[in-house]
């Protein structure tokens, strides 16, 4: 085993445990009645730097650092162009939902996306659909993350994949269960800085070793010319690239582990700074790490899996201790995404289902404790699912993003901006979008019209929402007051229903 590589990674994990322990102390010191908000949204007090890095570190996951370079390794430059669609993710999330979500979350005391749906559409069917989508698709998403983390460690240590999945899952589950959102957000800042600085160091080493991208491109053109062309090996037509821009960019607005960040920032100034800095940093992440795929193809043309491109290149280009420190970058991204998703799924199960429909008398402190228990259990479940890894992580990530987008994008945006939206519209939109997406991905690919199925699924979802909005009864006046009234109006309505 390469101890010079392993020791920096171990030190990094110790630091994360320290952050988790500190956040647990803050949570215990929080006044009764506010512990759930502290655990799930960090007390709504994030500054701009923490906000931007918690969005980017949660969005730039195993797909960006492991899966996308793996597809670039096998299918060429087209994937670099496609994945660059995620660069404006922070701008879109905060620009379309940030201010509206922050206001609503404070007025309604909401800490989850599903709570917004519950107050807006007043239907257990809508809450059930939203909860089902979050649990199923985020679990699929987390499987990809656990697999990516284990593959990184496998490349470093040579320890069998199964043992590493167990170790990785255990670390993430314990850290998230005790630390909650605040530990997630603070560690995301640390992890984001590691990713940013690590990418700069890696490319400096690559350029020093190969003399720039010119020789790499020339070698690719001579040995595998199809990797430089469109559609090329990845079959990238114009509409295909457009659909991936929708998947990686616009669908960020529909990912619950990102949209919940819109409830967590301190003030408007923090949100605006995060909106403008986010795309720049995400573009550096994305372009820097996905391009590693073609560099690795030249130097290591016979890798067992393209997903090993990033860890293999790091180990070969950099000396041991620096390689270990840099491998913390993709590992950091994976952990940031996983702990964010665990918190969202945990809050869905505890706050949206258990407290609202099973035991409404549950105290806030009790809900906070249950959140820790459920978060730990989720880590175990995802561990079991990740024991048999998929061939390509990025395809699993794309499937999960598309599933969430087909269900959430239209009813979420329309629900907070269009007063006519009602319960029937939400049910038809969520169910119809999901069914059409599953048909397009699994049984009838022609429905996608040559694109990723999420694009046509969004069109179906939007059409069904408009139809339901005009066929079904309009929302109650109390709902409109909650979403468009003053804080005083909302307080009066909520007190009237207690």
CA distance 340 to 481: 31
The model carries a pTM of: 0.82
Cα dihedral: 249, 250, 251, 255 (round 10):
90
Q: How far is CA 37 from CA 135, 225, 367, in A?
A: 20, 54, 10
Do residues 333 and 176 lie in contact, with contact meaning Cβ atoms separated by under 8 Å? Answer: no
Which pLDDT score, from 0 to 100, does residue 370 have? 85
pLDDT of residue 429: 97
pLDDT at site 47: 67
**Residue 326 to residue 314: CA distance in whole angstroms:** 7
- The domains found in the chain, sorted by start residue, are 3-392 (1.20.1730.10)
pLDDT at 437: 95
pLDDT at position 430, please? 97
Please report the DSSP string for 439-498 in residue order: IIIII-GGGGTTS-HHHHHHHHHHHHHHHHHHHSPPPPHHHHHHHHS-HHHHHHHHHHT-
Q: Which two tokens stand for residue 238?
A: 């114009």
Which of 251, 67, 222, 229 lies closest to 144 in space, CA to CA?
67
| DSSP state at residue 112 | S
Instruction: Tokens for 86, please give them.
Output: 């995620």
- Structure tokens, 3: 């101890």
Q: Tens place of pLDDT for every residue, the chain, 498 residues?
A: 666 667 777 777 777 777 777 776 766 666 555 555 555 544 455 667 777 777 776 666 667 777 788 888 988 888 888 889 888 988 888 888 877 887 888 788 777 788 899 999 999 999 999 998 988 888 888 887 777 767 667 766 677 777 777 777 777 777 777 766 666 667 777 767 777 777 777 778 777 777 778 888 888 888 888 888 777 776 777 788 888 889 888 888 888 878 877 776 777 888 888 888 888 888 888 888 888 888 889 888 888 878 788 888 888 877 767 777 777 666 766 776 777 778 788 888 887 888 888 888 887 778 878 877 887 788 778 777 777 766 656 677 788 889 999 999 999 999 999 999 999 999 999 999 999 999 999 899 899 888 889 999 999 999 999 999 999 999 998 888 888 877 676 667 666 655
The CA–CA distances, whole Å, from 477 to 186, 325, 481 equal 40, 56, 6
């Amino acid at each position: 085993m390469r101890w010079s590589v392993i020791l920096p990674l171990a030190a990094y994990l110790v630091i994360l445990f320290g952050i988790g322990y500190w956040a647990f102390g803050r949570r215990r010191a929080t006044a009764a009645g506010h512990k759930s908000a502290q655990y799930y949204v960090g007390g709504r007090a994030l500054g701009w730097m923490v906000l931007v890095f918690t969005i980017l570190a949660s969005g730039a996951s195993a797909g960006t650092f492991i899966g996308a370079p793996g597809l670039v390794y096998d299918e060429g430059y087209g994937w670099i162009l496609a994945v660059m669609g995620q660069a404006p993710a922070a701008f879109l999330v905060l620009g379309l939902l940030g201010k509206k979500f922050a206001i609503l979350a404070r007025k309604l005391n909401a800490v989850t996306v599903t709570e917004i749906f519950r107050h807006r559409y007043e239907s257990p069917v809508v809450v059930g659909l939203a909860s089902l989508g979050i649990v199923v698709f985020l679990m699929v998403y987390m499987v990809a993350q656990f697999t990516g983390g284990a593959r990184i460690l496998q490349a470093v240590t040579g320890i069998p994949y199964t043992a590493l999945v167990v170790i990785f899952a255990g670390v993430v589950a314990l850290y998230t269960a005790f630390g909650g959102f605040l530990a997630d957000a603070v560690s995301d800042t640390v992890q984001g800085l590691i990713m940013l600085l690590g990418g700069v160091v890696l490319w400096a080493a690559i350029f020093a070793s190969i003399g720039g991208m010119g020789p790499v491109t020339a070698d690719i053109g001579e040995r595998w010319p199809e990797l430089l062309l469109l559609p090329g090996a990845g079959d990238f037509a114009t509409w295909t690239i457009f659909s991936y821009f929708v998947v990686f960019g616009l669908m960020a607005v529909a990912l619950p582990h990102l949209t919940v960040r819109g409830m967590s920032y301190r003030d408007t100034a923090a949100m605006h700074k995060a909106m403008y800095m986010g795309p720049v940093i995400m573009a550096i992440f994305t372009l820097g790490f996905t391009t590693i795929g073609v560099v690795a193809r030249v130097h290591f043309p016979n890798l067992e899996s393209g997903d090993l491109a990033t860890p293999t290149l790091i180990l070969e280009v950099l000396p041991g201790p620096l390689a270990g420190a840099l491998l913390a970058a993709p590992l950091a991204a994976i952990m940031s995404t996983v702990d964010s998703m665990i918190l969202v799924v945990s809050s869905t199960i505890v706050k949206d289902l258990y407290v609202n429909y099973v035991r409404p008398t549950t105290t806030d402190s009790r809900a906070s404790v249950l959140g820790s228990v459920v978060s730990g259990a989720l880590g175990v479940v995802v561990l079991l699912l990740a024991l048999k890894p998929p061939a390509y992580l990025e395809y699993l990530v794309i499937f999960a993003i598309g599933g969430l987008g087909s269900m959430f994008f239209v009813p979420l945006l329309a629900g907070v901006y269009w007063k006519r939206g009602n319960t029937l519209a939400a049910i038809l939109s969520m169910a119809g979008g999901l069914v059409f997406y599953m048909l397009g991905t699994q049984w009838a690919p022609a429905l996608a019209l040559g694109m990723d199925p999420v694009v046509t699924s969004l069109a179906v979802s939007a059409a069904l929402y408009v139809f339901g909005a005009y066929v079904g009864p309009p929302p109650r006046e109390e709902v409109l007051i909650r979403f468009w009234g003053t804080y005083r109006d909302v307080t009066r309505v909520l007190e009237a229903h207690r």
